[in-house]
Amino acid sequence: MKKAICGLAVAGLMLAGSVPAFAGWNLDGSKSSIGFSSVKNDAVFEQHGFRNLSGSISDDGEVKLTIDLNSVDTNIQIRDERMKKELFDTEKFPFTTAMAKVDVAKLKALAPGKTEVTDVEFALDLHGKNERLVASVQITGLENGGLLVSTIKPVEVKAGAFGLDGGVDKLRDIAKLNSILLSVPVNANLVFLSE
């Protein structure tokens, strides 16, 4: 009898071990994008972005998104270099991170093609400053348990809140511009793949 019980226990443990545990999602950087806009001289609108992104959503709902600021892409190389040096100061602050907490049960319940609209509060660590912001997003279920997270409207990031206004002034002076808007709208399309 004891042998039978032990045998069932061992079989149960083996079966449990063969079922993969949910481990969350990892960002697919090649299919994801974060873009931001700038307005100079009150009328000239330009779109920029970053080439290198990484991130994850853990099985307990901890979200971490990391942006490599050295990968800034404005389509003009000299402007990229100026942004890295004068605005972001990437020698001192090479990355910016966003951290949030989400409801994993709701995310796991999203069938392919189904969507959820929600507001996500997150902490943005940028240029040595940490501020709490809110993003209105649409989350869409993908095949194989993946997720597409897209901003519904831009997240407004104010340069002054992160000590970037001085850098904006330097860029304005270098480019001999009348003005550069200090409030920057940021959009995101993020693809997370199930682990």
Strands (E), 74-176: 95-101, 115-126, 129-141, 147-151, 155-158
The yes-or-no verdict on residue 11 having pLDDT over 90 is no
Beta bridge partners of residue 148, listed in sequence order: 140, 191
The yes-or-no verdict on residue 8 having pLDDT over 80 is no
Name which of 41-55, 65-79, 123-137 the model is least confident about: 41-55
**Rounded to whole angstroms, how far apart are CA atoms 103 and 116?**
11
pLDDT at res. 91: 97
pLDDT at res. 22: 67
Q: What is the pLDDT of residues 103-117, one digit of tens each?
A: 999 999 999 999 999
pLDDT at res. 10: 41
CA 87 to chain centre: 20
Q: What is the pLDDT of residues 112-136, one digit of tens each?
A: 999 999 999 999 999 999 999 999 9
DSSP 112-135: BT-EEEEEEEEEEEETTEEEEEEE
